[in-house]
Amino acid sequence: MDRYRDLRRRMRKMTPEEYATPEGRKLAAWHDNLFDQKYLRHWWTNFFPVADGVWRSNHPTPARLQRYYDMGIRTILNLRGQERRGHYHEERAICDRLGIEMVDLRLYARRTAKREEYQELIAHLKTLPKPLLIHCKSGADRAGFASAVYQMVMEGRPVAEARKQLGAKFIHFRKTATGVLDHILDLYEEREAEMGFEEWIATVYDRHAIQASFDALPRWKR
């Protein structure tokens, strides 16, 4: 248990310089497989198209990053944010080597984000060059929400269609805490006839009120 706790502590504080050493990469590999479920992502990708030139997935492995590069993907939007842990250093190093632009934005699967964070998401979706990959950890919740936002804002799709990006097909389940993302779309849908999603975020969205209304819902009503 002491070694386990020491590994967790070291991974939370890992620097790029430490990751660049053989020992650092070895420790990061142990951490990623034990705590980040990297071993699952060698065969389970959650890789699906969102729109022309846009895909979504879970956190890609090095081999998958090479495949995506070979497909022509040159931009990655990482919704896990910038971190000190091994999985971030690994992805950053490989993207730098391949010439893939990697943009970091931290969103949340189980709670609402700040208005400014969703506005930053929209700004990235509007400006990042395609082909584009959007990913989070599992590719189920944050990537699904961002994909729904892309379809609404960039393609003008109705929320009823875009919300399909949050579904069991992608291992997303709204009756869990991650259902707060569905709840955001539910509340927007009530105003959809009046305004677009981007305007709703800018003028109506209230992070704390939405979280409170979701938390008050019985699980069976989510």
To the nearest whole number, what is the mean pLDDT of the chain?
Answer: 91
CA atoms within 13 A on the CB side of 91: 28
Segment 22-74, tens digit of pLDDT: 776 777 666 666 666 776 787 899 999 999 999 999 999 999 999 999 999 99
Segment 95-125, tens digit of pLDDT: 999 999 999 999 999 999 999 999 999 999 9
Q: Would you state the pLDDT for residue 37? A: 73
Segment 126-161, tens digit of pLDDT: 999 999 999 999 999 999 999 999 999 999 999 999
Residue 20 domain flag: no
What is the C-alpha to C-alpha distance for residues 193 and 179, in angstroms, rounded to an integer? 23
Residue 190 domain flag: yes
Residue 137 domain flag: yes
CATH of the domain at 104: 3.90.190.10
Residue 33 domain flag: no
Q: Would you state the pLDDT for residue 43? A: 84
Going by pLDDT thresholds of 50, 70 and 90, the confidence category of residue 20 is: low
Number of domains in the chain: 1
The boundaries of the domain holding residue 71 are 46-221
pTM of the model: 0.88
Higher pLDDT, 119 or 222: 119
| Best-predicted range by mean pLDDT (19-23, 30-34, 196-200) | 196-200
Strand partners, 134: 56, 77
The two tokens of residue 171 are 């291992």
Residue 199 domain flag: yes
Residue 211 domain flag: yes
Residue 157 domain flag: yes
Q: Would you state the pLDDT for residue 40? A: 75
Residue 11 domain flag: no
